[in-house]
Structure 1
């Protein structure tokens, strides 16, 4: 049986993968297939099922610009609502019949002779394509903490990114490891039902009020009847969030004024001075993601919630042991320890020119051009790749800008495979390092925004408008044509030591 060939293969069915598929379909290009390892669309919003899971970007903006949804239940949608929205969009734009469910991509190799990618799934199925678009995203593979004895825990162990169905919290002693975006949502849901909740904190988190309101039936009807009105509100929300960019990338000193507001909210929520001091971050607000919650800090005013700041030294079958020797007995242990940013690509053996792997190319840091293309990997495109995340606005806007760029690049690739030049990639890498030096993310805290070399490889150090200007057209000087047999896996010009 012949291996099926498509002009484009897309990996993933979250916002990135579905958005790419829909944009291809909208322009009449149906020679594509989407590979999805699960049995349903949704990406991170399908996989994250923990109690309290919700988005921290307003619903009216955390959605496709071409697929407004007038019936959100509230300003900040829950995970269930966002997952339902993505399923609805997949149906509305009739892309389901282009999705291969259960296709867990494990290998992708570029053939310099044919100018095509050969893709292999975990079950042995194969496809070839002219262009490969990775839309799996970074917030996908859970990061497990390196804690001695974790595997020996005899109770229920639940990572927020892989929440086991049927996990029972009521009437049990629950431990929560971590105080990031997931934990901030979990703790307020756990505390009222557990007999006792113990939060193990390594670093305090900056939290601010979440201005979340329910959408009335009248509002929903208005938006459904007059889509232009909802679009106007969407644009107002976009510009109000975009106005925050200078705090993160140009004027980090402004953060002091925001900190005063947050500290007043903390003082009002937590009356105990010792607990309040432990919850007060020792770094500039914005250096890590600012978390939005109305009930996280107030949870620590409850008598059945404990905050532990001593480091965890080991886990035993029925307890977590901290550095002071205390055994904290728990029945359920929740890991709110985030994601492995390399997880989505590390699990796929991606080989470009000369057989060089992407893992090898990124051994000195995740270097790209515009967060979309990688030198040495022809017709490989990343959506929501390195340096395209945001700390101040909706990443869906970045996905849409990058998608339009990829469409132009795919059209250009119809004449033959192209690859971004090493020179263009090196220039972009140096630019990201230079522009990140004076941002709020470089003020001294430890965060997942920075890689092992201390470089920001997660966030775009600028405005979304600036990214749109950079991606609205192709720069032909940043690409070269791939000729069979003329390329070799040259060493990366810019590495972590050479920046």
Structure 2
């Protein structure tokens, strides 16, 4: 088989899907189809359009290495700017023309070395390999609060934003105090007549001024791509060797500095002792995902903003009633309650070798070889799979490395050196045992509850340093895989069902 005979299906057209398509096409594998469930491309930055949405990774680090961008307008970019960047990259690389919109993959079935893919629009044909690139944060999670459907005002989840909402002069309640909740508070505090943040758990806040990038600096980067690239590598080194290694327990000095900075930010900027006590977490810095903001403490102290820490008893037509019996009358409720972060590949039905069902196999916990492949599912790969470093590295860096790695494996098939590739069961088992043992040394297991924990109570992130991750993703160790090398010449592409 040559690269021109290889057909690959990619599930999702967000950052992960773009990275996967780019590195396949870079190897000459052009028969690539991205199946997108929505009518427009994107993932996180398409779905999240709430007021104040922004990335907490610096703009000039949150980009693909193959698509530098001199046009970022802020240190940490707003969501709509990132979405425009993703669409622009897809057009410039030719990836956009490979997307099938309004095609949500419902089933993929493996048989004799190939995959049959079906979407809600019907059968889509046969593919030699499939890459799942749907991401972890796209199934909104609603809280289990009694009376949630009885509210008489308007309500929406932050990831399903109602564009008709006018919050001006309204009594607004926000349920959820993580990164999303804090961003919405900052954006809405000056607009709403009354704003109530219902906080179940206090958050550590890292102060990071989100200053604008002026036209002069943007022009400098337009004129000098090497300067922009140098800044990217500087940010990458700082982010990965300092922040990422601090939270995973590999840079104690950086962790101590980060923890001290968060404490100073709280003590310096929250003046009322009672409010400061309510905003002080009872767990170590970094145990939950650190919130980055330069405005939250200012916003939460405005006279029209109220922090409510009493438990929510139930929701009723007029608003939220807390356990102390007080009714908080509201016109709008915003649920900033996150996602089902561990529902990877759900609700697709993925049937591998010998009829194995992926979701059934993962009933006791998601597990994969180096996050990218699963025993029993030949030529099935994942960007952002189980135990990807979702809580510590820049996701675009993670996605790129995994995409390059996967493209190398698919290249073995495209170039005729393999018919099928899947990780060995014993190697995968040993890798996941190492993960669990190493996780005990991270800050995430120090005594808090977070979305990093899967339903089985295990932290589903990456416990090692960025340097180790980069090394693991450098070149596939083919000895770790079952490589079926007996290759049967297939029919030419012109005779294949194209779907």
Q: Fold conserved (TM > 0.5)?
A: yes
CA gap of 1:155–1:344, structure 2 versus 1, over 3 A, is farther
Distance 2:27 2:411 in 1: 12
Aligned to 1:497: none
Distance 2:147 2:413 in 1: 51
Secondary structure, counterpart of 2:227 in structure 1: helix
Aligned to 1:417: 420
Q: Is 1:429 matched up with 2:428?
A: no
Aligned to 2:97: 97
Aligned to 1:247: 246
Aligned to 1:439: 442
Deviation at 1:222, TM superposition (A): 1.2
Secondary structure, counterpart of 1:345 in structure 2: coil
Q: Is 1:474 matched up with 2:476?
A: yes
Deviation at 1:392, TM superposition (A): 3.8
Q: Is the 8 A contact 1:432 1:456 kept in 2?
A: no
Distance 1:253 1:26 in 2: 39
Distance 1:258 1:479 in 2: 40
Distance 2:324 2:216 in 1: 56
Deviates further, 443-452 or 258-267: 258-267
Cα offsets for 1:179-213 (capped at 9, x unmatched): 11111100111111111111111110110112322
Aligned to 1:147: 145
Distance 1:437 1:28 in 2: 42
Aligned to 1:107: 107
Cα offsets for 1:320-342 (capped at 9, x unmatched): 11111211111100000111113
Cα offsets for 1:62-86 (capped at 9, x unmatched): 0000100011111111101100001
What 5-or-longer segments of structure 1 have no aligned partner?
Answer: 485-499
Aligned to 2:492: none
Secondary structure, counterpart of 1:151 in structure 2: coil
Deviation at 1:258, TM superposition (A): 2.9
Aligned to 1:380: 380
Q: Is the 8 A contact 1:14 1:44 kept in 2?
A: yes
Distance 2:484 2:28 in 1: 27
Q: Is the 8 A contact 2:173 2:197 kept in 1?
A: yes
Aligned to 2:126: 128
Deviation at 1:253, TM superposition (A): 6.0
Tell me how many residue pairs correspond in the alignment. Answer: 477
CA gap of 1:312–1:253, structure 2 versus 1, over 3 A, is farther
Aligned to 1:28: 28
Q: Is the 8 A contact 2:342 2:454 kept in 1?
A: no
CA gap of 1:418–1:205, structure 2 versus 1, over 3 A, is same
Deviates further, 350-359 or 55-64: 350-359
Cα offsets for 1:365-423 (capped at 9, x unmatched): 11101000011111111101122124443121111111111011112234312211111
Deviation at 1:454, TM superposition (A): 2.3
Q: Is the 8 A contact 2:185 2:300 kept in 1?
A: no
Cα offsets for 1:401-456 (capped at 9, x unmatched): 11111011112234312211111110111111111101111101001111122212
1:92-491 residue pairs with structure 2 within 5 A? 92-111=92-111, 114-244=112-242, 245-250=244-249, 255-414=255-414, 415-457=418-460, 459-481=461-483
Deviates further, 284-293 or 252-261: 252-261
Distance 2:288 2:162 in 1: 28
Distance 2:91 2:148 in 1: 42
Distance 2:337 2:46 in 1: 18
Deviates further, 56-65 or 249-258: 249-258
Deviation at 1:480, TM superposition (A): 1.3
Aligned to 1:490: none
Deviation at 1:483, TM superposition (A): 10
Aligned to 2:78: 78
Secondary structure, counterpart of 2:35 in structure 1: strand
Deviates further, 299-308 or 328-337: 299-308
Secondary structure, counterpart of 2:8 in structure 1: strand
Distance 1:300 1:211 in 2: 17
Distance 2:232 2:485 in 1: 46
CA gap of 1:463–1:363, structure 2 versus 1, over 3 A, is same
Deviation at 1:477, TM superposition (A): 2.1
